[in-house]
A and B are shown apart, each in its own frame.
Chain A
Amino acid sequence: KAGVTQTPRYLIKTRGQQVTLSCSPISGHRSVSWYQQTPGQGLQFLFEYFSETQRNKGNFPGRFSGRQFSNSRSEMNVSTLELGDSALYLCASSWGTGAQEETQYFGPGTRLLVL
């Protein structure tokens, strides 16, 4: 079974630009969660989508947004990029319901550098 895939793997942007990252979950998984990982703050939860609806949200500004499509693929968008947005962005997928729903499988991440 194919794992979680993320594209692109690397991105360089300048301040003020916007960026869109993509995530394809494991087949059959309906929940996709997004995280930001930095050396200083660690792994921080952005939001979770389940069946095309945002189900949970972390404590990030509105510049960070996401969506999920009917095939469970998800995108996240960051508008008006700031230097502090430089990070590894990870998505993770899970079944979305049922036993052990808390277990999730991470993709390799998209490394974003904002100059």
Chain B
Amino acid sequence: QKEVEQDPGPLSVPEGAIVSLNCTYSNSAFQYFMWYRQYSRKGPELLMYTYSSGNKEDGRFTAQVDKSSKYISLFIRDSQPSDSATYLCGFNKFYFGSGTKLNVKP
């Protein structure tokens, strides 16, 4: 079993939709949780960082962590075409999901 599982997508949604991106993990030592956005031909860009269970909100983005279920989510409200990118979950600095490709259609 891989330490991190992330649905690769692609996920295609209409503009304005709520997007839910998810990762599961198996390593109980993971205590820090990140979400990165990666545009084509660019490096990943840090979107959200949290270390506790519960929700953390930043503008249109909400990161949710459930340590008991080993499950993290990123919600994007009122999605925009500019949100079209690959989203990677990150754990404890060095561990990453394989990324979910998101396409927001105008």
Contacts and interface: CB of A to CB of B under 8 A. Distances in A.
Interface in B24-67: 32, 34, 36, 41-46, 49
Interface string A30-53: 000100000001111100100000
Interface residues of B, number: 19
Chain A: number of interface residues, binned into ranges: 20 to 34
Contacts of A108: 41-43
B95 A102 contact: no
Contacts of B92: 102
Given A48-B94, A103-B46, A43 B88 contact: yes
Contacts of B98: 41-43
A102 B43 contact: no
Contact of B94 (A42, A58, A105): A58
Nearest to A44: B96
A33 B99 CA distance: 19
Given A102-B49, A103-B34, A103-B49, A45 B43 contact: no
Contacts of A94: 93
B32 A102 contact: yes
Given A42-B99, A43-B99, A56 B94 contact: yes
Nearest to A104: B93
A18 to B, nearest CB: 24
A78 to B, nearest CB: 19
A100 interface: yes
Nearest to B88: A43
A90 to B, nearest CB: 5
Interface string A55-87: 010100000000000000000000000000000
A107 interface: yes
A21 interface: no
Given A102-B32, A106-B36, A106-B44, 6 more contacts: A42-B98, A43-B99, A44-B96, A102-B49, A104-B93, A106-B43
Interface of A: 4, 33, 41-45, 48, 56, 58, 90, 92, 94, 100-109
